[in-house]
């Protein structure tokens, strides 16, 4: 076997090793992601995406400009993806904070902007 043939054969082997390593790396990535998801499911924690900072206030103020609404009605009025991520509890918390800061008021379960 000539030197050129040996180099050619060595290059082929190196290419095969690179392909195998890349495939194993991808398998490792998939396995790691699967383990993370399994742990999250076992621990009972959901991998929910949170609403961006300020999304709750923006939603509440936008909806209440058109008149008094319940928390449920406020959430149902969500239009953007960011607004749709605002949970019931987050909307309620924003309303309670705003009530203390005199931004909102509650009358018979309907929230409105403070005059």
Task: Estimate the crossing angle of helix 55-64 against helix 88-100, to 10 degrees.
Answer: 70
43 lies in the same domain as 64? no
How much is the mean pLDDT over the chain?
88
32 lies in the same domain as 78? no
Phi-psi region of 102 (alpha: psi -120 to 50; beta: other; left: phi over 0): left
42 lies in the same domain as 70? no
36 lies in the same domain as 79? no
Residue scoring higher pLDDT (43 or 73):
73
Lowest mean pLDDT among 12-21, 41-50, 58-67: 41-50
Residue 91 has pLDDT above 70, yes or no: yes
74 lies in the same domain as 97? yes
Number of structural domains (the chain) is: 2
Mean of the pLDDT values across residues 44-48? 59
72 lies in the same domain as 106? yes
40 lies in the same domain as 66? no
37 lies in the same domain as 72? no
The secondary structure of residue 32, as a DSSP letter, is: H
Domain extent for 68:
55-113
């Amino acid at each position: 076997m000539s030197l050129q043939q040996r180099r050619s054969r060595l290059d082929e082997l190196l290419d095969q090793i690179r392909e195998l390593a890349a495939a194993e790396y991808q398998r490792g990535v998939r396995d790691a992601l699967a383990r993370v998801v399994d742990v999250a499911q076992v621990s009972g924690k959901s991998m929910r995406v949170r609403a961006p900072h300020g999304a709750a206030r923006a939603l509440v103020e936008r909806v209440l400009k058109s008149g008094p609404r319940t928390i449920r009605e406020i959430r149902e009025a969500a239009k953007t993806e960011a607004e749709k991520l605002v949970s019931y509890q987050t909307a309620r918390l924003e309303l309670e904070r705003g009530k203390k800061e005199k931004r909102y008021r509650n009358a018979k379960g309907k929230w409105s902007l403070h005059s």
